[in-house]
Structure 1
Amino acid sequence: MRILFDARFTRTDHHDGISRYGASLIAALAETDDVVMLISDRRQLALLPDVPHVLVNSPLSPAELFVARRINALEPDVVVCPMQTMGSWGRRYPLVLTLHDLIYYQNPTPPSFLPLPVRLLWRLYHLAYWPQRLLLDRADVVATISDTTADLMRRHRLTRRPVLLVGNAPQPSERRRDPDAPRSASLLYMGSFMPYKNVETLVRAMALLPGHTLHLLSRITPERRAELEALAPAAGGVVFHGGVTDGEYEDLLDDATALVTLSRAEGYGLPIIEAMGTGTPVIASDIPIFREVGGSAALFVDPDDPAAVAVAVRSLEEPGRWAEASRAGLERAATYSWSASAEQLREACRHAIAEHGRRRSGPRGPAVPAQRAPGS
């Protein structure tokens, strides 16, 4: 199958969630399929697999309205975009668009790296569901990464197209925690500092955990850092890293008591599986998506209760409890892989090709039910 994969959402200096999702799927697909990438900046190639590519406009450019004309000439069997915003006017090819989550309808603050005009359009776009429906209905198949999002899409009637699951997965790691090895009294948070991430409760919990250190790993603005520092205990216990490399992240996971995330809403929660994959226990807010991703392996808490966080951390000090949580996490993480996700995407591509053919030849058949992601 000749798959044209839209890799223009790949970052140029470091992976974010969407960037890593796309790059990982491309690498897994390319093991068996003829994959060509669309890029908009040659610097993206540093974070992408070594497969053929075509340079086109940025997805944020006005030229995006007409990108289908360029793609038509490439004659792909199917086109896959890891976002839902790809231009499709005049397309003559099967198309799979991806909707990861619906977070920005409840939390409308756009990503800060987007240009100001795009951030303004972002806010307008998320004021109602109908613009989303217009975009998704221009696909042949819509992919999403979780049952939780698929259920929300059905609840809000976001598309008439078949919805199939193409799950997320952690990066392969050769490291595995030794349950008997010494570990520090450190807690890790990996993620952004947007309001719905609820890092405030995590920082407040540190006042109840003397002797423990909270490591906030991601990049943060000076203003946001000052807000969180004002909530930290006077005795310290909170360390701002301002960004870490993959190697540094693994080193910290190797030494930590737990990874902690208290989001009130989330699209997926990849750090949960990343931590479990190394044998590091996870403490997470009790929300549907984290229940889906973490299963029974994570320790779930009320995201608005710092005391509940402290109790969960202290519970890992009970004899045998840390080792039990570590083993459960390893078992859970083993149910996810990029090869399994790539096979889900191949199935979505086959459905898109069939749907595209039906739509061109006459009335379309019944919608395809969502398929479950591995581990769900």
Structure 2
Amino acid sequence: MNSESMRVLFDAFWWHRGPTANRSVMREIIFAWKRVFPDDEIVLAIRSAHADLAADDVPENARVVTTRGFPHALSNSLELAQISKRVQADVMIVHNYTPLTGDSVVFIHDLMFEDHPEWFSPKERLYFAPMGWLARRAAGVTTSSAAESARIERLHPRLAPVSSIGLSIPSAMATATPTRPDGLGSIDRFFLCVGRMNVRKNLETAIDGARLSTSISAEFPLVIVGSSEHSGVNAELPPSVRRMAERGELLFLGKISDGELRWLYERSAGLLFLSRDEGFGLPPVEAGYFGSPVVASDIDVLREVTGGEAIYVDPDSSADVAQAIDSLALTYMPRLRRTSTTRDAQAEWDSVAIALRHATMPVPKEDQS
């Protein structure tokens, strides 16, 4: 192997099933890596239970090896180093959990559970707990945003410097055919919420802001997309939510396809994203990509990922949310189909892969002879 190419073992534990965000980021990075660094040899460590599904769903010429350990933390920390040694990998690229031995670069999605343990169940906190400690074994630590990088360095100074490598929208959504969701009925005017149904996503303030606004009605409802899957502590929504839903002022669509979500972004009067904290915050980025106005919590990470191009509100102020809704409603044009920006999601993922590969440069290379 020459000095310009590497053999890279990728943690592909969630290749087929698992938390949607983790799975999407994992796959996007690996496919981008293959595009940008075609001379690198890619080895995917996929769970043995799902390996039979991978034959036609991996980058061209990628080698698939299987892991047996479960859960993810155990497989990564104990099993990947052995596989890396066996396949003679130059470096391991892993998510959240770092192998105890061997050269690796870890991408940590976030350490929010350390800052806000009340948002997570005891089981989740116990499972996530090793992330920061294990990361000390990594040759490089990366994450998605500068805000999350600052958090990780504050909580674990020994991990500094933590590189922020960014994210982009899912490639499948960027190329999906916009499709009207069946659950929308005849509605043409609406505001949009996207996210899991949990305390951190702060859905209750978005709904209360909609209740207080003068614009939300059965003809101009708030449409909510998302599920409670992998959501932590669930939000407790008040009885007024049921009444709003009965009046048609709220529509819950649940989990929908990429094409349906793209259709909603392109036609919504605005996205309400009032999360109390994020490692990155993808829905506002998706909304901006497809031309939807954004009402976002006034927190550092959301100002970062939206580039200042949003209406920022106090996530605890329903009155601020109502005012933002009414302001956007005044300029809304029904049946408007926006044109996506000139941004290229695939090119943005390529940049993420480049930044991640750069983080491998300090890793010492073993003699492969």
Q: Which TM class, normalised by the smaller chain length?
A: 0.7 to 0.9
Which residue of structure 1 aligns with residue 46 of structure 2?
39
The CA distance in 2 between the partners of 1:58 and 1:335, in whole Å, is 32
Range 60-69 or range 337-346, more displaced = 60-69
Q: Cα gap change, 1:135/1:345 in structure 2, threshold over 3 Å: closer, same or farther?
A: same
Which residue of structure 2 aligns with residue 312 of structure 1?
324
What one-letter code is carried by the residue in structure 2 that aligns with 1:78? V
The CA distance in 2 between the partners of 1:8 and 1:175, in whole Å, is 26
- Tell me how far 1:218 sits from its aligned partner: 1.0
The CA distance in 2 between the partners of 1:345 and 1:65, in whole Å, is 20
1:341 counterpart (352, 356, 360): 352
1:76 counterpart (86, 89, 106): 89
2:283 counterpart (266, 271, 274): 271
Which residue of structure 1 aligns with residue 253 of structure 2?
241
Which residue of structure 2 aligns with residue 7 of structure 1?
12
1:290 aligns to 2:302 (yes or no): yes
Q: Cα gap change, 1:65/1:142 in structure 2, threshold over 3 Å: closer, same or farther?
A: closer
What one-letter code is carried by the residue in structure 2 that aligns with 1:292? E
TM-score by length of 2: 0.78
The CA distance in 1 between the partners of 2:208 and 2:98, in whole Å, is 41
1:49 match: secondary structure: coil
Alignment of 1:43-58 (within 5 A): 45=54, 49-50=58-59, 51-58=62-69
The CA distance in 1 between the partners of 2:105 and 2:272, in whole Å, is 34
1:29 aligns to 2:28 (yes or no): no
- Tell me how far 1:47 sits from its aligned partner: 10
What one-letter code is carried by the residue in structure 1 that aligns with 2:30? I
Q: Cα gap change, 1:153/1:210 in structure 2, threshold over 3 Å: closer, same or farther?
A: closer
The CA distance in 2 between the partners of 1:47 and 1:98, in whole Å, is 26
Give percent identity, aligned residues only: 28
Unmatched segments (≥5 aa) in structure 2 = 1-5, 179-186
- Tell me how far 1:277 sits from its aligned partner: 0.9
C-alpha contact 2:177 2:259 (8 A) present in aligned 1: no
Which residue of structure 2 aligns with residue 147 of structure 1?
146
1:37 match: secondary structure: strand
C-alpha contact 2:194 2:226 (8 A) present in aligned 1: yes
2:288 match: secondary structure: helix
Task: Please give the per-residue CA displacement for 1:233-284, whole angstroms capped at 9, x wherever unaligned.
Answer: 5433111122111121112222211111101111110111111111111111
2:361 counterpart (350, 358, 362): 350
1:193 counterpart (197, 204, 226): 197
C-alpha contact 2:225 2:252 (8 A) present in aligned 1: yes
C-alpha contact 1:38 1:54 (8 A) present in aligned 2: yes
1:17 aligns to 2:26 (yes or no): no
Q: Cα gap change, 1:136/1:341 in structure 2, threshold over 3 Å: closer, same or farther?
A: same
The CA distance in 2 between the partners of 1:303 and 1:161, in whole Å, is 30
- Tell me how far 1:147 sits from its aligned partner: 0.6
The CA distance in 2 between the partners of 1:199 and 1:86, in whole Å, is 33
Unmatched segments (≥5 aa) in structure 1 = 126-130, 178-182, 358-376
What one-letter code is carried by the residue in structure 1 that aligns with 2:202? N
- Tell me how far 1:69 sits from its aligned partner: 1.7
1:214 aligns to 2:227 (yes or no): no
Which residue of structure 2 aligns with residue 366 of structure 1?
none
C-alpha contact 2:100 2:137 (8 A) present in aligned 1: yes
Q: Cα gap change, 1:121/1:292 in structure 2, threshold over 3 Å: closer, same or farther?
A: same
What one-letter code is carried by the residue in structure 2 that aligns with 1:135? L
TM-score by length of 1: 0.76
The CA distance in 1 between the partners of 2:75 and 2:177, in whole Å, is 47
The CA distance in 2 between the partners of 1:46 and 1:188, in whole Å, is 38
C-alpha contact 1:273 1:333 (8 A) present in aligned 2: no
The CA distance in 2 between the partners of 1:108 and 1:64, in whole Å, is 24
- Tell me how far 1:349 sits from its aligned partner: 1.7
C-alpha contact 2:200 2:276 (8 A) present in aligned 1: yes
Which residue of structure 1 aligns with residue 240 of structure 2?
231
Q: Cα gap change, 1:161/1:103 in structure 2, threshold over 3 Å: closer, same or farther?
A: closer
The CA distance in 1 between the partners of 2:361 and 2:222, in whole Å, is 46
The CA distance in 2 between the partners of 1:47 and 1:145, in whole Å, is 29
Q: Cα gap change, 1:97/1:281 in structure 2, threshold over 3 Å: closer, same or farther?
A: same
Which residue of structure 2 aligns with residue 257 of structure 1?
269
- Tell me how far 1:332 sits from its aligned partner: 7.9
Range 280-289 or range 39-48, more displaced = 39-48
Q: Cα gap change, 1:35/1:299 in structure 2, threshold over 3 Å: closer, same or farther?
A: same
